[in-house]
Amino acid sequence: MTETRSLDGARVLLGITGGVAAYKAPELVRALGREGAHVSVILTARARRFVTKDALRSVTRGPVLHGLFESKALGTGPWFEGAATSAIGMAHIGMAREADLVLIAPATANAIGKLAQGLADDLLSTALLATRSPVLLAPAMNVAMWEHPAVQANVAILRARGVRLVGPEEGELADGERGVGRMATIEAIVEACASLAGLAGASRAGGSGGADGMPLSGRTIVVTAGGTEEPIDPVRVITNRSSGKMGFAIAAEARDLGARVKLITARTTAEPPAGVERIEAPTAAAMVDAVLASMKDADALVMAAAVSDFTPARPSGSKLSREGSGLHLDLAPTADILREVRAAYPRKHLVGFALETEDEVARGRGKMQKKGLDLIAINNPQKPGSSFGSDTNDVTLVDAGGNVEPLGLRPKREVARAILLRVAQALNQD
Ligand SMILES: Cc1cc2nc3c(=O)[nH]c(=O)nc-3n(C[C@H](O)[C@H](O)[C@H](O)COP(=O)(O)O)c2cc1C
């Protein structure tokens, strides 16, 4: 029996920059190699203070370079088959051109800043500007550095350009502080490389070959979107400010990743995506029925709709008038859709959204446990760029294993992709 490896034949150019986590690079190279990748390496001058070229050469047959004008020692294997670009001083072009994927791990604040600003003063930064391949960063730094507005602004620039990030994660940092800044685990980095290499392969195939090989091909994903409207009388409702944009972005992205999509919508103000199955569910009660029914033949649910927690207990059959002493509404709680779905489908993959304005991660994690979710996307509508109707969202993902991944402010389509790639990974592991 031949074993399938997630990076079989992929040429991964690993850039190592000068953070403490660089000492993990040989282990990362080995892990990539075990998945079938051909790894070549470029180190920055500062990275060489933390890891040696000899240690890296002992774990890869690909080239291990650091200098812009290095000409020799290009290694063996599938790198530089074209050879012409391996002439003196052209390693950056050759390596950049031939890579299927460029991974920077660890990525220092400095390297992130240089890439965001287009600086090219050493072999790695020059190769990064010379590549057209997907780029994945695994940032690692002190928490204050990670949270610095300059670093976050650079990260936002790179994300908007399509650069992907894995981590950083929360935990104890090399300097003894706790916080977000640890490099993602080797497993998470290898997994992120595999999804990106898969996506790159799928997008290279273009529109010619159907959905085969797409991360969600053969899967059915139920997505909910919009805000429910709970009737007070025939003309008035209790609702919220959800536009439906986040749910629509998830539906569109799931479709583009190869899934069959059932999109259940309450009231929305945004343009719905084409090429998905639409089911109208204007109220919380209609939505619970629609979701339970749709999940029968689905693999996963992403619950992005803003479902009212309360509904008028006795909606009036006729329009209420202004006359009299005022109006008192009795509100009854609505069904908790995710809990009902979990009870009905104990093994299906469930993703929830939590909208919190304080203590976001702790509250989101509590919600995830209470409802038995696999993943929760937490956002705070009071944060800049995350308000209702916005095209961007600042989301933190928390999974059932306790991993916390702040995605930072990014376009809703990118948030959707990050969520769905995790769903795909989980489904494909089953
Ligand atoms: C002991 C030590 C550890 C460091 N660790 C990190 C780190 O984890 N992340 C980071 O962004 N910078 C770290 N730095 C700072 C970088 O080494 C510095 O910004 C350098 O200019 C990065 O260069 P490079 O991006 O070209 O590798 C560290 C510096 C020292 C001296």
Residue 190 CA to ligand 1 centre (angstroms): 23
Ligand 1: nearest atom to the Cα of 122: 26
Is 240 among the catalytic positions? yes
In this predicted structure, what is the pLDDT of residue 428?
84
Give yes or no for residue 218 having a pLDDT over 90: no
What is the predicted pLDDT for the residue at 1?
44
CA-nearest of 257, 252, 259 to 218 is: 259
69-114 residue pLDDT tens: 765 545 445 655 544 444 445 666 777 888 999 999 999 999 999 9
Number of Cβ within 10 Å of residue 180's Cβ equals: 19
Structure tokens at 165: 């990030």
CATH class of 11-206: alpha beta
Residue 22 C-alpha to ligand 1 middle, in angstroms?
10
Ligand 1 pocket: which residues have CB below 6 Å? 17-20, 44, 46-47, 108-111, 140-141, 145
Nearest-CA residue for ligand 1 atom 22 is 18
181: left (phi over 0), alpha (psi -120 to 50) or beta: left
Q: What is the mean pLDDT of residues 45-55?
A: 96
Nearest-CA residue for atom 10 of ligand 1: 108
Whose Cα sits closest to atom 29 in ligand 1?
Answer: 19
Q: Are strands 310-312 and 331-333 parallel, antiparallel or unpaired?
A: antiparallel
Q: How far is CA 77 from the centre of its chain?
A: 32
C-alpha angle 51/54/56, rounded to 5°? 65
- Report the residue among 16, 23, 110 best suited for mutation to probe ligand 1: largest number of ligand atoms under 8 A from its CB: 110
Query: Which residue has its alpha carbon closest to ligand 1 atom 6?
Result: 19
pLDDT digits 0-9 by tens, 132-184: 888 999 999 999 999 999 999 998 888 777 788 888 888 888 778 788 899 99
**pLDDT above 70 covers what percent of the chain?**
90
Range of weakest confidence among 151-155, 314-318, 385-389 = 385-389
Ligand 1 nearest-atom number relative to CA 108: 11
In this predicted structure, what is the pLDDT of residue 36?
A: 93
* 197-201, 305-309, 418-422, range with the lowest pLDDT: 197-201
The CB-side HSE value for 140 (13 A sphere, CA atoms) comes to 27
Which atom in ligand 1 lies closest to the alpha carbon of residue 174? 8
Dist. CA 49 → ligand 1 center (Å): 10
The span from the first CA to the last CA of the chain, in angstroms, equals 19
State which of 108, 125, 165 you would mutate to test the pocket of ligand 1, scoring each by most atoms of that ligand within 8 A of its C-beta: 108
Q: Identify the bridge partners of residue 410 per DSSP, sorted by sequence position.
A: 393
Q: Which of 240, 379, 380, 393 is catalytic?
A: 240
Q: Where are the domains of the chain?
A: 11-206, 212-313+329-429
Q: Rounded to the nearest whole angstrom, what is the distance from the C-alpha of residue 108 to the centroid of ligand 1? A: 6
Architecture of domain 212-313+329-429: 3-Layer(aba) Sandwich (3.40)
Quote the crossing angle between the two packed helices 109-117 and 149-160, to the nearest 10°.
50
Residue 212 reports pLDDT greater than 70: no
What are the Cα distances from residue 343, in Å, to 63, 197, 299, 348, 350?
Answer: 53, 36, 15, 10, 11
Atom of ligand 1 nearest to the CA of 21: 8
What confidence score (pLDDT) does residue 430 get?
66
Centroid of ligand 1 to alpha carbon of 148 (angstroms): 15
Q: Is 257 helix (H, G, I), strand (E, B) or coil?
A: coil
In ligand 1, which atom is closest to the CA atom of 17? 27
Q: Is the pLDDT of residue 203 over 50?
A: no
Same fold, 11-206 and 212-313+329-429: yes
* Mutation probe of ligand 1 site: the residue of 14, 16, 20, 122 with most atoms within 8 A of C-beta: 20
Predicted confidence at residue 164, as pLDDT, reads 85
